[in-house]
Chains A and B, each alone.
Chain A
Amino acid sequence: MSRRDSTSYQWSARGFIAPGVILVAVLLYAPLLWTTYLSFTEYNGLGDPDWVGLANYGAMFADPEFFGSLGNTLLWVAGTLIVPVGLGLGLALLTFDLKGGIWLRLPFLIPYAISGIGVGLIWSFILQSDGALDQALALVGVVDPPRWLLDAPLNTVVMILASSWQGVGVNALLFTIGLQSIPKEPLEAARLDGARGARLFGSILWPMLRPLTAVVIGLSIVASLKTFDIVQGMTKGGPGRASETLALTMYKDTFVNSDYGLGSAIAVFLTIVTLVASVLYLRQQLSKKNEI
């Protein structure tokens, strides 16, 4: 029977898997390969691409704007790890075991489902010169507030905070699910032994949250490397190109400056960085697991 199992339905099985494979191959893999090819060519969307070898990569690494954009992207990665992940954990710990915790977390969850553009719309309204924040500051006597969205790197920092406003709640939700799945016995035992607050956290909660923390951090790294929507919604990468991330630089070089070759090279670079970060991170996580 088991032998028949593995052979008798093969044609039918191919038919069932075909739609998925075809969709992914035609609309994702073929473009992926084409972008990689285009990164070695000069192309503006008309005529045929001309092979130029590594010239686009050379131009990319010679461009100070590219390094500015790379720096902003790394700032996004670092900022996203510190603020939304840290605050999310803090929030989950504060609401843990608390009566009405669900309701107390709710205000933090609402922003999560708003699109990046929606979040950008709200915060650029708040942060514009003489906007809501500046008016509030004037009430407490600050007459000459910083130019939130106009000076780099301050604009990237405030955008990271705006994106944290959006992301904290869902991180808190993930950590809460992690906390709720911790077995009650060791927790009670530690409490009976007098562990409270920081000690309870350090000796029981944190080690048991490790797998989930790994997921949250991994997701945050990958997502922040691709930051696009919220920057597009708040500064459009400006003023000039001061707050661009790699995703924005790729978009502008391609679709605004019609330099498809350079745009492709940036996309390939971004992909390599994302994959390397994921692999390094996964490997580190796996080796840690082996130690325990």
Chain B
Amino acid sequence: MSRFIRTAVLIVAGIIWLLPVYLLVINAAKSPADFTSKEAWLPNGFALFENMSDALSLSGLGDAVFSTLIYAVVSPIVAVLVGAAAGFAIVALRLKHGFAWFVVIFGGTVFPLQMVLIPLFDGYSRVGLFDTRLGMVLIYTAISVPFSAFVMRNFFSGIAHNVFEAAVVDGASTWRIFTRVYIPMSLSALVAIFILQATFVWNDLLLGLTLSQSDDVRPIVTTLSGMQSTYGGAQLSTVLAAGILVSLPTVVLFLFTQKFFAKGLALGQY
């Protein structure tokens, strides 16, 4: 096929692909007073920012934004460091049966999330972690650790072992070697894992649905899901505006870091 035809086909297909986004934006921008679902294709006024700020006070979406930011920042950072420590133990410190331990950690992701929901719900309720931010941070961290350990073990395998030996000769402790030599050398890998996991946490529905209920603990996507079933009719434009608000951060992050994502996916995370 000639390049011209290919380009033309792609442009037409691309426009069709963006139609749902067009519909989302123009309808999220209609003020509730003018909103009618009868004229979905025609723009009508621009009240997007008003709708977004209305959405933030609806269903506690504002609170949810704040807690989700905590989850999506804290959990991936802790997970990245815990995974890096595991990789360091296996590769640099040559932990005995290191590969078996690696399999133990990585095995944590091979089964569906459904296998942990009931005991987590039950156990969290018993020890007072149900519907707490600490409880959410803990589970998001645990879920992110296996992938992080996987990538960091691979990454550290690429660092020559005499880097470690030289540091030992200089009299550095293992903790110092980890924090001052290995971590600074692997910033790019750490950032890539962080971005992937932060997006995963931001978009989580199932854990939020199971382990939280109050406005200030519920993560944002779970809150959006609740809004969708609670508010219809004229307030639909507000819910659609909430949808944009919730989606924008990950879409922007993703578009700037496509390559990281593709690599992470090819490594077999999802």
Contact = CB atoms under 8 A, between A and B. Distances in A.
B213 to A, nearest CB: 11
A110 B21 contact: yes
Interface string A183-206: 000000000000001000000000
B203 A122 contact: no
**A13, A38, A212: which has the most chain B beta carbons within 10 Å?**
A13
A77 interface: no
Chain B interface mostly: helix
A16 B86 contact: yes
Contacts of A130: 37-38
A275 B10 CA distance: 38
B118 A274 contact: no
B254 A20 contact: no
Contacts of A23: 82, 138, 141-142, 145
A255 B37 contact: no
Interface stretch (A24-32, A57-65, A140-148, A150-158): A24-32
Contacts of A29: 108
B257 to A, nearest CB: 10
Interface stretch (B45-53, B94-102, B183-191): B94-102
Given A174-B265, A228-B205, A9 B93 contact: yes
B167 interface: no
User: Chain A: interface secondary structure?
Assistant: helix
A84 interface: no
A109 B254 contact: yes
A98 B4 CA distance: 10
A35 B221 CA distance: 26
Given A32-B115, A117-B205, A131-B40, A215 B86 contact: no
A66 interface: no
A131 to B, nearest CB: 6
A115 interface: yes
B40 to A, nearest CB: 4
Contacts of B6: 94-95, 98
Interface in B64-114: 82-83, 85-86, 88-90, 93-96, 98, 101, 104-105, 108, 110-114
Nearest to A99: B3
A110 B119 contact: no
B58 interface: no
Contact of A31 (B96, B120, B125): B120
A174 B89 contact: no
A271 interface: yes
Interface of A: 1, 5-6, 9-10, 12-17, 19-21, 23-32, 34-36, 38, 45, 91, 94-95, 98-100, 104, 106-118, 120-126, 128, 130-132, 135-136, 165, 168, 170, 173-174, 177, 197, 212, 215, 218-219, 222-223, 225-226, 228-229, 232-233, 236, 247, 250-251, 254-255, 260, 263-264, 266-268, 270-271, 274-275, 278
27 contacts: A6-B96, A13-B98, A14-B95, A16-B88, A16-B174, A17-B86, A24-B108, A31-B119, A34-B123, A36-B115, A98-B7, A98-B10, A106-B255, A108-B13, A110-B251, A113-B199, A113-B247, A113-B253, A114-B247, A116-B221, A122-B23, A170-B261, A212-B266, A215-B266, A229-B221, A250-B117, A271-B115
Interface of B: 1, 3, 6-7, 9-11, 13-15, 17-18, 20-21, 23-24, 27, 37-41, 82-83, 85-86, 88-90, 93-96, 98, 101, 104-105, 108, 110-123, 125, 138-139, 141-143, 145-146, 149, 165, 174, 178, 199, 202-203, 205-206, 209-210, 221, 224-225, 228-229, 236, 239-240, 243, 246-247, 250-251, 253-255, 258, 261-262, 265-266, 268, 270
